[in-house]
Structure 1
Amino acid sequence: MDNRKRGEGILQKSIAVELVEVAPIKALAVRTGMTPDKSGTRVAWSTLTAQVPLEDARLTDGPSAYVFIPQEQWSKQVDTLWVGLAVHEFGDVPDGIETLEVCGGLCVSARVYGNEVHMWRVYDAMFAWLEQSPDYELDRREGVFGMETVPLEPLNALTIPYTEIETFDFTMLYPVRKKSGF
């Protein structure tokens, strides 16, 4: 029992939550809802890449997809997401595809690399960090998007059914702002 407790403590300590500056991003994206079987992001990815292939000249460098989360949803329930690809310019926007402009700025960040239990621990660590921070809070203003970056190489998790993913691999980037003084 002692070793297991010690092991869990080590795992939690290995979750690094940090502040990072994020550049503004333009994205072509597909809106989806949260589905009980968690297939919404995979369906959105399929719809997106059918209209905006990964060879599209508008795409920025770097093999990553993004899941965008409206920050105001964190105070109630996350039910709407966008799956997108970063672009230099929007150009001709195909039917069914939306344009998103994410302001960038200071974000709290944490990397997820592990099984589903570990992924939920990272979410818990992120929100615990925010609750305990004397200086920063989640920026929940309307129109502010957080994002999770999903690498497309060596493996694109958006092409694998959620229940078959053994290793979740993404980085959380959620905008923060200075807490207002009381």
Structure 2
Amino acid sequence: MSSSWIIVKRGEGILQKKIAVELVEVAPFKALAVRTGMTPDKSGTRVAWSTLTAQVPIRDERLTDVPSAYVLIPQEQWSKQVDTLWVGLAVREFGDVQDSIETLEVSGGLCASARVYGNEAHMWLVYDAMFAWLEQSPDYELDRREGVLGMETVPLEPLNALTIPYTEIETFDFTMLYPVRKKSGL
């Protein structure tokens, strides 16, 4: 396990917060998903979730046993601006798919992982820690090849944040899983 230290200034004092970044292996999987964009009010993922679950109910027999939603992010976008992503559910098979739903094959593999559980400020600290770890790692870098999808897993229980307006979320609860690869020359 590796970790990053984030220095947070609070008033006159400085608080150091340790955020764990781990390397984990993710199994490949299939997902039924709805594409969305980044919206100023951050409602895109919620609208996509509503569209997805209208076509693929949470009790659909194709779903895997993992009770999570996935926000899937094309990794090449991290070098510029994230503007397109998908909200999806893992499935055993695609089956019949409506026009509004896309089928995705997530390759899995080695991922840098960090857990977010806290308010919005904490969430941004975890993003900072993840990308600091990726920049400082002597061995690994973000896999930004075209078609590689990173993901953020959002638990559906006890509370599904994709059903709550972004501005009303008090506790962000998800896990970042961003594919990595050995740095060139290693």
Q: Normalising by the residue count of structure 1, what TM-score does the alignment of the two structures yield?
A: 0.93
SS at match of 1:56: coil
| 1:52–1:12 distance in 2 versus 1, CA, 3 Å | farther
Tell me if structure 2 keeps the 8 A contact 1:24–1:103.
yes
The structural deviation recorded for 1:104 is 0.7
Stretch deviating more after TM superposition (10-19 or 113-122): 10-19
Query: Matched residues in 1 for 2:71 and 2:143: separation?
Result: 17
The structural deviation recorded for 1:122 is 0.1
Query: Aligned residues, how many?
Result: 178
Query: Matched residues in 1 for 2:16 and 2:86: separation?
Result: 29
SS at match of 1:16: strand
SS at match of 1:49: helix
Stretch deviating more after TM superposition (13-22 or 141-150): 13-22
Return the structure number with greater strand share: 2
Q: Deviations over 1:11-47 (max 9, x none)?
A: 7543110100000010000000000000000000000
The structural deviation recorded for 1:7 is 11
Tell me if structure 2 keeps the 8 A contact 1:12–1:121.
no
Q: Kindly, what percent of the aligned residue pairs are identical?
A: 91
Q: Deviations over 1:144-171 (max 9, x none)?
A: 0000000000000000000000000000
Q: Which runs of 4+ in 1 moved over 4 A?
A: 5-12
Query: Matched residues in 1 for 2:13 and 2:21: separation?
Result: 16
| 1:117–1:56 distance in 2 versus 1, CA, 3 Å | same
Which of 9, 33, 36 does residue 37 from structure 2 map onto?
33
Any gaps of 5 or more consecutive residues in structure 1? none
Query: Matched residues in 2 for 1:46 and 1:8: separation?
Result: 44
SS at match of 1:72: helix
| 1:78–1:10 distance in 2 versus 1, CA, 3 Å | same
Q: Which residue of 1 aligns with 2:49?
A: 45
| 1:12–1:99 distance in 2 versus 1, CA, 3 Å | farther
Query: Matched residues in 1 for 2:177 and 2:15: separation?
Result: 21
Query: Matched residues in 1 for 2:184 and 2:12: separation?
Result: 35
Return the structure number with greater helix share: 1
SS at match of 2:16: helix
The structural deviation recorded for 1:125 is 0.1
Query: Matched residues in 1 for 2:13 and 2:134: separation?
Result: 20
Query: Matched residues in 2 for 1:181 and 1:98: separation?
Result: 37
Q: Deviations over 1:58-117 (max 9, x none)?
A: 000021000000000000000001000000000111120000001110000000000000
Query: Matched residues in 1 for 2:43 and 2:88: separation?
Result: 15
